[in-house]
Structure 1
């Protein structure tokens, strides 16, 4: 019998007010770009995607992730970009906080140290707003979105007909 596994990733999850503003931005972009708007409750910034992890490995993963210590930081989402190769429209920051880069690097190092794969070699901090966007989006007015990041989370992803559903497995406060 095959062992149970979960599709896991690590992410920053915006507070509801920020998620609502991002979702509004996605709605505005959708009028120009088409595509599929990400559901408000699924908006996040991926730090690392691990993939399928058998349940027996979960305690070890939680232990090593608990060693990651990074101070709180602030993200200013001040740009909207489009990747033509995968038709993703995203929100990001022109200046990436060093603590965000450190958090992603530390997480990836700890996950790799226990032999689990981290499938994204280059970390490009972004929040996907639209999938299958036909064109880039240039907002007439774009008010930067401010985000004081206080925690990060280990999430499980379950694929469903309407897209992915996410379940929080564990979370850690930033120092």
Structure 2
């Protein structure tokens, strides 16, 4: 994957960061939250019915652990395959889709501005970034997960270094 991004002619890769799609990211955060709530309820029920520990708490704990292990494994695999990534290059920014193919890129010399919106909800926090360029009318849109995102800091730092941002 890195060879495809490096082949865009925007210089060496300075960093790559995970992105998320709004619908899938929000849905998965909510589902994981509900699973934790179900686990807390099962743990509470075992106080009232201790003989049901094997029936309730053991299975619920196994399911919660399995989901979090699968989530961690998916993060590692998707990063290795270059899926839903934002690559910061010396000469610009490139974004890949869920299949690891480059969907859009913009050179720092074409950037006219970056608009950032922070969304913090009950189950999710994210940063929405729109990178406007004079190359196209449609901005390059990114959704970085987390309330404090390393991608936002790195993107703004790299943009200032390249002279595209003040």
- Fold shared by both chains (TM-score > 0.5): no
Which is strand-richer, 1 or 2?
1
Task: Give the alignment's TM-score, normalised by structure 2.
Answer: 0.26
Q: Report the TM-score when normalising by structure 1.
A: 0.25
Structure with greater proportional helix content: 2
